[in-house]
């Protein structure tokens, strides 16, 4: 069974009641994949599990928060939801709005979201506004719109988004029957690291786990405001999903890192592209560039001797690689070969005599 959706599964941990309409596309229940090819390759002495969030209905982790945000919006009578997005939030909002039969307006940075994500917003029927500016500019406009009665914001400044996304931590603990020792993930607007930390803490309070993981957040070097400690006016990275210079949940992310005795650091575009290729080649898991940031961070931490032997590590890979096929084709570093339709052409090309 694909799963019943995160609201039905985890309702006792979520702010819902019997009057809340459940707008779900059976999100969640994503696989936690034991990945020892990478650990063997880097001679790592730890257990690596990858939480593949690209297998959600709109192919990113955003669906966990969106099911709750849209359900609560409908419960409260909202007719229009709105969000700023680097692509995945808009794809998810568009799909859940379609399911709920309400309007969706998305504000995205012009020319800076991956093609697959644009396709999703359009095919689900969202009113799609491309801003001549970046994500941070778009979020300011959305905050402004949110002051009007007509609009319900579904960015992660909507507390239901964080509440829904915390279920990623629940699923990991349910699978491992404990918390991991370290949890790596990419950081953009900083909602997800906040959500996971909330989830782990709630599970500990409920007596379901005994310990908490260190939260290890990773930004792209050209878009690393939290690492640098100041707003980045013109963030730049090939990982368009995390091209953010002024994250909304900045303080909450810092709290998660501090309280968990974790860390936040950055990787270069080259490092995250290498990690994307490595994950695809060695584990068969295809993720978008932003999602490979956590894997690149894991490799860096291992190089620096920061992963104690015997540690259980989880890396959340946040979005599917098919979201951004152009970068994947380029990053594969191989080319297809065009040949004549005869067996000797095949064998010659394969250098088989
Ligand atoms: N990975 C992917 C694939 C994302 O789309 C995002 C954020 C992140 C990581 C970072 O997560 O913002 O919670 O720290 N995408 C947002 C969007 C900003 O609009 O789709 P975060």
What is the pLDDT confidence band of residue 201, given thresholds at 50, 70 and 90? Answer: very high
For residue 161, CA distances in Å to 72, 136, 157, 343 come to 10, 18, 8, 55
Alpha-carbon distance of 163 to 258, in angstroms, equals 20
Residue 104: in which H helix or E strand, if any?
strand 103-109
Alpha-carbon distance of 12 to 17, in angstroms, equals 9
Q: How many residues does the chain have?
A: 353
Distance 263 CA to ligand 1 centre (A): 18
Average pLDDT over residues 166-184: 98
Residue nearest to atom 10 of ligand 1 (CA): 188
- Nearest ligand 1 atom to the CA of 287 is 3
Distance 140 CA to ligand 1 centre (A): 17
Q: Where are the alpha helices (DSSP H) in 32-85?
A: 36-41, 62-75
103-117 per-position pLDDT tens digit: 999 999 999 999 999
Q: Ligand 1: which residues within 6 Å by Cβ?
A: 60, 62, 85-89, 156, 186-192, 241-242, 288, 290-291, 318-319
Pairing mode of beta strands 32-34, 47-52? antiparallel
Using the predicted structure, report yes or no on whether residue 39 has a pLDDT greater than 60.
Answer: yes
Residue nearest to atom 6 of ligand 1 (CA): 241
- Nearest ligand 1 atom to the CA of 253 is 14
Task: Specify whether the CB–CB gap between 290 and 188 falls below 8 A.
Answer: yes
DSSP state of 306: -
Task: Specify whether the CB–CB gap between 316 and 293 falls below 8 A.
Answer: no
Q: How high is the pLDDT of residue 131?
A: 98
DSSP state of 25: S
Residue nearest to atom 19 of ligand 1 (CA): 85
**Which neighbouring-strand residues pair with 45?**
none
pTM of the model: 0.97
Give the percent of the chain with pLDDT over 70: 99
């Amino acid at each position: 069974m694909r799963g019943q959706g995160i609201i039905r599964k985890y309702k006792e941990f979520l702010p819902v009641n019997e009057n809340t309409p459940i707008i779900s596309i059976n999100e969640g229940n994503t696989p936690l994949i034991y990945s020892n090819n990478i650990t063997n390759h880097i001679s790592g002495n730890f257990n690596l599990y990858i939480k593949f969030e690209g297998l959600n209905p709109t192919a990113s982790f955003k669906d966990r928060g969106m099911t709750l945000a849209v359900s609560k919006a409908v419960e409260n009578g909202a007719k229009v939801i709105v969000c700023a997005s680097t692509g995945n939030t808009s794809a998810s909002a568009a799909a859940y709005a379609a399911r709920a039969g309400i309007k969706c307006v998305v504000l995205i940075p012009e020319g800076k979201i991956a093609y697959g994500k644009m396709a999703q917003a359009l095919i689900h029927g969202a009113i799609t506004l491309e801003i001549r500016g970046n994500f941070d500019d778009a979020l300011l406009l959305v905050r402004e719109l949110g002051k009007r009665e007509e609009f319900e914001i579904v960015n992660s400044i909507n507390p239901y988004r964080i509440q829904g996304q915390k279920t990623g931590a629940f699923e990991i603990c349910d699978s491992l029957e404990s918390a991991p020792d370290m949890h790596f993930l990419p950081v953009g607007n900083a909602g997800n690291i906040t959500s996971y930390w909330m989830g782990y803490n709630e599970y500990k309070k409920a007596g379901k786990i005994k310990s908490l993981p260190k939260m290890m957040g990773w930004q792209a070097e050209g878009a690393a405001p939290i690492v640098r400690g100041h707003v980045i006016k013109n963030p730049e990275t090939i990982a368009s999903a995390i091209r953010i210079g002024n994250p909304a949940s900045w303080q909450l992310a810092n709290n998660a890192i501090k309280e968990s005795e974790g860390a936040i650091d950055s990787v270069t575009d080259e490092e995250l592209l290498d990690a994307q290729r490595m994950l695809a080649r060695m584990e068969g898991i295809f993720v978008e560039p932003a999602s490979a940031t956590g894997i690149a961070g894991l490799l860096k931490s291992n190089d620096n001797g920061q992963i104690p032997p015997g540690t259980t590590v989880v890396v959340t890979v946040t979005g599917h690689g098919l979201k951004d096929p152009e970068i994947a084709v380029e990053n594969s570093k191989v080319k297809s070969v065009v040949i004549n339709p005869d067996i000797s052409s095949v064998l010659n090309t394969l250098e088989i005599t």
